[in-house]
Amino acid sequence: VIETEILTLDRMAIEEAGPNPDKLAAAIHAQLGVKTGAVPIHTIAGALDIVHVREERLPGMEGALVMTPDRNRGAIFANARSSRQRRRFTIAHELGHFLNPWHEPPNPVAFACTAEDLRTTWRDLSRDANRHWQQESEANRFAIELLAPASRVIRYLKGIPDLERVIALAANLDISKEAAARRYVGLCERPTAIVFGHKGNVGYFERHPDFPFVSCRKGDPLPSCETTPDPGVLTGHMQSEPRDWLARLPQRELLTQRLFQANGYSMTLLMLDGDDEDEETSNS
Ligand SMILES: [Zn+2]
């Protein structure tokens, strides 16, 4: 994807939004004008004093930001070994550090961010989280608000939750399926959870606050995963055993749907059956 458009953004006006990552991202979108499709992150970074974005091999790191001491200019580095979608998220994350004057780099002129930093939840952390994790969380929050603003996600949220829509969302916004899945769970009106697996084991999960607590833990065998079909296979919604997944038995049937991905990765959508008739009634 080559971004050729010339873009002018008023960085001072954007930074007036303050340290809140949601407001910072919204201030950029207010100036962008375009309302659909993939957000041109390279062009945006260039218009906000990032003099270059380079893809490099970064041992032990996913991304880095180097700045002049006065923070007037910066350069961003993204891990060349990661997918384009992941690099786009990394660039947005580093831009989030750059635009937030409250973010203190660990060394006077550079941030160096690991894969773990980029996985930090983008929900609010507790107030006692240390400064490093607070900053990483805010940079992630900024990145997802910039690359997948609610206004571009909303049309994927209607109806019965379905990983088909997560796949379409990822393709439309040019973000990873993992980022799309986490955004989907966060914004979907109907509470769901998504469990991310690798090679038959649980990695981590993202859960809507109103969805029952998910009991499986990192490293547990992934429930109902005896066979691993080819990457790209998406199952239907299957009735599943709640005891395998949830801390307490729900009032309604548990449905799961699984997407098998490359290299042994998978994601499993969890939802409760039974709201569909209500939705149809309220829509008519
Ligand atoms: Zn970071």
Q: How far is the CA of 133 from the centre of ligand 1 (A)?
A: 9
Q: How far is the CA of 112 from the centre of ligand 1 (A)?
A: 7
Q: How far is the CA of 1 from the centre of ligand 1 (A)?
A: 24
What are the residues facing 236 on neighbouring strands?
none
Neighbours of ion ligand 1 (CB under 5 A): 113, 117, 136, 139
* Residue with token string 């990394």: 90
Q: How far is the CA of 118 from the centre of ligand 1 (A)?
A: 6
Q: How far is the CA of 19 from the centre of ligand 1 (A)?
A: 15
SS (H, E, C) 64-86: EEEECCCCCCEEEEEECCCCHHH
**pLDDT per residue of the chain (284 residues) written in tens, 0 to 9:** 456 567 899 999 999 998 899 999 999 999 998 788 999 999 999 999 999 999 999 989 999 999 998 899 999 999 999 999 999 999 999 999 999 988 999 887 899 999 989 988 766 666 666 888 899 999 999 999 999 999 999 999 999 999 999 999 999 999 999 999 999 999 998 999 999 999 989 999 999 999 999 998 999 999 976 677 788 899 999 999 999 999 999 999 999 999 999 999 999 999 999 755 544 444 43
Q: How far is the CA of 117 from the centre of ligand 1 (A)?
A: 6
Contact (CB, 8 A) for 67 and 105: yes
End-to-end Cα distance, the chain: 41
Q: How far is the CA of 98 from the centre of ligand 1 (A)?
A: 10
On the CB side of 55, how many CA atoms lie within 13 Å of its CA?
11
List the 50-56 sheet strands across, edge first.
Answer: 50-56, 74-79, 63-67, 110-113
Q: How far is the CA of 169 from the centre of ligand 1 (A)?
A: 24
Distance CA 197, CA 72 (A): 42
